[in-house]
Structure 1
Amino acid sequence: MKTLVLDPMPDRFWSLIKERHLEKYFTSDQNNSNIEIIIIRTKTFLSSKYLEKYSELKLIIRAGSGFDNIDLQETIKREIIVCTTPDSNAQAAFEHTISLILSLIKQHLTGKNQILKGKWKDGLKPCWEITDIKALIVGVGRIGSKVGKFLQTMGAEVKGVDPFLTPSEWEQRKIIETDYVTGIRWCNLITYHCPLYNQTRDYFSKKTLDEIADSIWLINTARGGILNEDAVKAGLRAGKILGLGIDVFAKEPVPTRDYFFKDNVLITPHIGAHTQNAKNRLILDTLEVWSEFVFNNKIINQIDYNFI
């Protein structure tokens, strides 16, 4: 069962392949028509046209938690299984989200620039405490539920939006369920942890801005296309967005934007999962998905096709 790895994997991945004597299952020849498994990360987009090259393809492993770079309609049509490694980056992405929230409400960047400008605390607005937060968690899965639990523990009010959770799953998470519009009208912080698919593209839009009752903190560590950039810029101009923390962009690497230089905007280059532990988990989880399929004919971590 030949496997093609299209995106760079950490060196340890290949070391384990060698240690376990699995080299014969892998090829670097993209013209090999007998490819049955493809492994990708974020750089490669598997379009229907690209997938046409591989008539024997049975499994796509997306090493990571997203799958917006795969033509899922084509995989359904051809009965190609798509699996991810959703646990590999959950802890790191959760921590990164919390760090953005705390840095914004405690005005870390603004405070630094005040000192550099020789202004000390002159004109500096009071910082927020976590107990001031009413957080709307959009996507209450592995990462969103961690974020919600942390904020609750620290005294914030938390509600969640996730149309795919069952009543028992909501009960397990101990987060109050709400719908998107009602949640937007209630909250003063929105943090996105949902996949990017048709229903969530431009999820934060100018229509969203119109629904916001009070100014909000806005966080996105999920996928770039979830935030409509024109809506973000309009929200910052109007003061409806108190502060913005983003780790993901519709196009990466992202070109510089004027609003990136604002004191209340924190940007990071998609490093939510950029920890050694997350990298190690990604390697092991990818190999587990691969090994179970190849040697045990078992499918683990298959994606939820509700997201199409």
Structure 2
Amino acid sequence: MSDQVRVLISDQMDPKAAAIFRERGIHVDEISGQTPEELAAIIGDYDGLALRSSTKVTKALLGGTSRLKVVGRAGIGVDNVDIAAATARGVVVMNTPFGNSITTAEHAIALMFALARQLPEADASTQAGKWEKNRFMGVEVTGKTLGLIGAGNIGSIVAARALGLKMKVAAFDPFLTPERAVELGIEKVELDELLRRADFITLHTPLTDQTRGILGREALAKTKAGVRIINCARGGLIDEAALKDGLDSGHIAGAALDVFESEPAKDSPLFGTPGFISTPHLGASTSEAQVNVAIQIAEQMSDYLLLGGITNAVNMPSLSAAEAPRLKPYMALAEKLGRLVGQIVGTGVRSIDVEVEGAAAELNIKPITGAVLAGLMGTYSDTVNMVNAPFLARERGLDVREIRHDREGDYHTLLAVTVGTSEGKRRVAGTLFGNRAPRLVDIFGVPVEAELTGQMIYIVNTDEPGFIGALGTALGEAKVNIATFNLGRRETGGEAVALVSVDDPITPELTKALCRLPGVRDVVPLSF
């Protein structure tokens, strides 16, 4: 076996990774610093590729090998791997999402102290022989309010450290339950309240369509005067131009960024701005973290290559070879239902019920639940997958229940997802046509048969004559082509639902225009 299974480590990695591969009987080569052309010339000789952030796994690279089975990223970010291309080639992509959590959290705390006491400026001044003792008047962190945007794995560690410093901690996180907040000793708040109250704000959320620019110009204007902002998560969460304006005006007292919209950041307009501190993406850069992620990725890749075990895969669930063919269409349906309810309900989910009946009740429900959670939580996170979604749900205190029904219903197989919120429960249900094609059959108690695919619009309106024509006219004027039109209603003249599949994404401006149509109660753009 040792002569057949081969792994290439293409970036500098702790030697313990190679040692683990060799101990497991896997041939390993450590060749770093290659050009894309050099890597492409040798990748066909390997079953596994272990890397950090320097190596780029592109569609072209993957197209040059039929042997590669797994790509392992020693770290959380997989921006340097073409996930879609890897999936199409049947290559499993793994990461180590929790190996550097403490390191990143500690870096955020370090930057908070650096901002509070102006340490970089004071150091430069003192080493220049100036001794400007009266120039650097800092602030204490004791008794101050720390606002967390994101209270998952890293955010909860930051919260614990801040509480140890006698700070007050308020958190905005769509999946943080009130019970989990109490357990952490923090206060769950909405974003606007966090902005209004926080003396320090630190971000710990991935970059998704929902979080991009979460601290934009409008949000920054709502912050408390004198706020200090730290970002060790992802570039793009903060509008850097607006941040600079806030620093220049004095409304923002300080900002510390470890990540930037464009990296490597060599000419940012923020450089040289008074009150600004920067580090070159050092969040995971400690000896301990690099050892942890190297060990973890070597163990995960070895388990997969030798035993077929899958851990922390970002593009496939943990499944046995026998289960996979039958479960695959159910998991596709589950992911779509989770994504549907996640996009419509948004924040404030406290519980999730996954119900199966008919043929679905005979299956292993765990992968189905994982797919539901991945779809639901994937609305807000680019690191959620069917493997780690259940863990992330537990981490945020979500109550997840799995329910099997022996009863016979209207469909030969049925999967339903019910989310509990502060405003009550919302339920969607779907089935498989021909045991393979996912279809929605019920949305919040309204019978609607629809294929969930591509770009769609969810519309709730009063059931009145002329609405469909008005909707079609509005979309036509916006040059948006309708692909399919699916309708349902509770009763004549009551609440009606439309799920419209369109050829182009719906802009915020068009959403507002549709909301102004007579009888419209809600409009939500959807993407599948």
The residue correspondences of 1:284-303 to structure 2 (distance < 5 A) are 284-303=295-314
1:29 and 1:108 mapped to 2: Cα distance?
43
Shift of 1:218: 0.9
Tell which has more relative contact order, 1 or 2 (C-alpha 8 A, sep 6+).
1
1:134 and 1:45 mapped to 2: Cα distance?
40
Which amino acid in the other structure matches residue 260 of structure 1? F
Q: Give the corresponding residue for 1:40.
A: 51
1:39 partner SS: strand
* 1:156 correspondence with 2:160: no
Answer with 158-167 or 288-297: which moved more: 158-167
Q: Give the corresponding residue for 1:221.
A: 232
1:219 partner SS: strand
2:94 and 2:172 mapped to 1: Cα distance?
24
1:243 and 1:77 mapped to 2: Cα distance?
45
2:79 pairs with one of 68, 72, 96: 68
* 1:118 correspondence with 2:130: yes
Aligned pair count reads: 307
CA contact (8 A) 1:37 1:59 kept: yes
Answer with 177-186 or 255-264: which moved more: 255-264
1:266 partner SS: strand
Percent same amino acid among aligned pairs? 28
Residue-by-residue CA offset, 1:228-286 (whole Å, 9 max, x unaligned): 32122122112222111122233333214454334522222222222221121121111
> How does the TM-score come out when normalised to structure 2?
0.52
Q: Give the corresponding residue for 1:211.
A: 222
Task: Rate the CA distance shift 1:283–1:47 in 2: closer, same or farther, 3 A.
Answer: same
CA contact (8 A) 1:4 1:30 kept: no
* 1:282 correspondence with 2:286: no
Task: Rate the CA distance shift 1:49–1:201 in 2: closer, same or farther, 3 A.
Answer: farther
Which amino acid in the other structure matches residue 14 of structure 1? A
1:54 and 1:199 mapped to 2: Cα distance?
35
Task: Rate the CA distance shift 1:149–1:287 in 2: closer, same or farther, 3 A.
Answer: same
* 1:145 correspondence with 2:156: yes
CA contact (8 A) 2:247 2:274 kept: no
Task: Rate the CA distance shift 1:26–1:274 in 2: closer, same or farther, 3 A.
Answer: closer
Q: Which segments of 5 or more consecutive residues in structure 2 lack a partner in the other structure?
A: 32-37, 315-373, 383-528
Task: Rate the CA distance shift 1:5–1:135 in 2: closer, same or farther, 3 A.
Answer: same
Answer with 244-253 or 3-12: which moved more: 3-12
2:204 and 2:106 mapped to 1: Cα distance?
13
* 1:30 correspondence with 2:5: no
1:139 and 1:179 mapped to 2: Cα distance?
11
The residue correspondences of 1:1-308 to structure 2 (distance < 5 A) are 1-23=5-27, 30-31=40-41, 32-33=43-44, 36-54=47-65, 58-74=69-85, 80-115=91-126, 116=128, 118=130, 120-125=132-137, 127-166=138-177, 169-257=180-268, 259-303=270-314, 306=378, 307-308=381-382
CA contact (8 A) 2:55 2:80 kept: yes
Shift of 1:20: 4.4
1:52 and 1:210 mapped to 2: Cα distance?
48
2:275 and 2:184 mapped to 1: Cα distance?
31
2:192 and 2:115 mapped to 1: Cα distance?
24
Q: Which segments of 5 or more consecutive residues in structure 1 lack a partner in the other structure?
A: none
Shift of 1:19: 4.7
Residue-by-residue CA offset, 1:178-213 (whole Å, 9 max, x unaligned): 233332222121111222233233332222222224
Which amino acid in the other structure matches residue 89 of structure 1? N
2:94 partner SS: strand
Residue-by-residue CA offset, 1:114-147 (whole Å, 9 max, x unaligned): 544635333443x211124211112222221111
Task: Rate the CA distance shift 1:24–1:50 in 2: closer, same or farther, 3 A.
Answer: closer
Which amino acid in the other structure matches residue 40 of structure 2? Q
CA contact (8 A) 1:201 1:225 kept: yes
1:218 and 1:111 mapped to 2: Cα distance?
19
Which amino acid in the other structure matches residue 279 of structure 1? Q
RMSD: 3.1
Task: Rate the CA distance shift 1:294–1:167 in 2: closer, same or farther, 3 A.
Answer: farther
Structure of greater Rg:
2
1:225 partner SS: coil
Task: Rate the CA distance shift 1:118–1:192 in 2: closer, same or farther, 3 A.
Answer: same
Task: Rate the CA distance shift 1:189–1:93 in 2: closer, same or farther, 3 A.
Answer: same
